[in-house]
Homo-oligomer: A and B are copies of this chain.
Amino acid sequence: MSTASPAARIFSSDNTAGTSPEIIEAVTRAASGQALPYGADDSTAAVRRRLSDVFERDVDVLLVSTGSAANALSLAALTPPWGSVLCHRDSHINNDECGAPEFYTAGAKLVALGGDDAKIDPEELRTAARHKAGDVHSVEPSVVSITQATETGAVYTLDEIRTLGATAAEAGLRLHMDGARFAGALASLGCTPAELTWRAGVDLLSFGATKNGTMTADAIVVFDRSLTAELAFRTKRAGQLAAKMRFHAAQFDAYLTDDLWLRNAAHANAMAARLQEGLKAIPEVGLLGAADANILFCRLPQQVIEGLLAEGYAFYHDRWEPGVVRFVTSFATTPQDVDDLLQAVGRHAG
């Protein structure tokens, strides 16, 4: 295939993988016949029912084309334009969406907080959540956004989320979860989707799927259903209401069938763990931070980095201190892919 490397040597992101065969089959089944547009079709309704089952309560669902859209729409529903979004300074919404949250919220301000492993520090949140609240000279703290799993591959524990959620609730703020890698976090924690979200205070979830097996569909899962009407208008107005929604729905239907989403995520996590184990055995490699899901940071000697690049491997390596490298696995990564990479690292380190 012209669009793919002959071997899977791209470890820069899980978005370089294709899609699961089950997804393709579902889309193929959806290809013929007539269906009502804009989400009025049966299959979109089925996705809502499936996600209500997954989350053990009635939820509303909006299927959109990217995770950035899911995040930005969610935040727009949770903060007024003069509000602030409290997030981690390393968060995707703060760094990697070209200001989509600012665009969708009509200019709300992202307030960047610190904390290890790209998790918001609870003390910083406590202060920020009440900073100049009610003071018209300052933006109004309005929503907390956490990423689960985080941008560095760590996973918030249930207790950590509950603590942040309680702080938000006490200060009258709403809670958004950027779940671009939600399935991976769930697979890592072994808890229920309900525990990880609304039971811990989450109002809106960006339920990521593209990175974990779908093609072009992510979702917003609405726990506070009083927000649904507004989200529906915002989604249409953003050019995110697909006419042939059946094709988004088909992807999600397959994704949620027979736990494909959880199996894919568990596999990606297992591949990262396999990689981590292998790297531990190479003395020249230093592992960095938590690697709870499918993202792994480590420190490599310069000649290893150069050797891997020369072999056609792709990964981020020049965004942090010299020597720091990020590897990301996906549902499509094979044990052989991992072992080949390990062998290459070892070869260049030796």
* Residues of chain A having any CB pair with chain B under 8 Å: 1-5, 8-10, 13, 15-19, 21, 23-24, 27-38, 41-43, 46, 64-73, 80-82, 95-100, 102-110, 136-140, 210-211, 215-216, 230, 232-244, 246-249, 332
Contact = CB atoms under 8 A, between A and B. Distances in A.
Contact of A106 (B34, B97, B107, B236): B107
Contact of A65 (B32, B239, B249): B239
A216 B69 contact: no
Nearest to A246: B3
Given A31-B19, A103-B106, A108-B102, A239 B69 contact: yes
Contact of A33 (B3, B107, B139, B238): B3
A78 B35 CA distance: 35
Of A65, A67, A242, which is in contact with the most chain B CB atoms at under 10 Å from its CB?
A65
The 9 closest A-B pairs by CB, nearest first: A4-B33, A69-B239, A102-B107, A65-B65, A15-B243, A106-B106, A68-B239, A3-B35, A215-B247
Nearest to A239: B69
Contact of A31 (B21, B82, B242): B21
B100 A109 contact: no
Nearest to A7: B34
Contacts of A237: 81-82, 97-100, 103
28 contacts: A1-B29, A3-B41, A4-B32, A8-B34, A13-B243, A16-B36, A18-B31, A18-B244, A19-B247, A65-B66, A66-B239, A67-B243, A68-B236, A71-B239, A80-B230, A95-B137, A95-B138, A98-B136, A98-B237, A100-B236, A100-B238, A102-B107, A103-B237, A106-B106, A107-B107, A136-B232, A136-B241, A215-B244
Contacts of A248: 216
B1 A98 contact: no
Given A35-B16, A65-B65, A102-B108, A216 B242 contact: yes
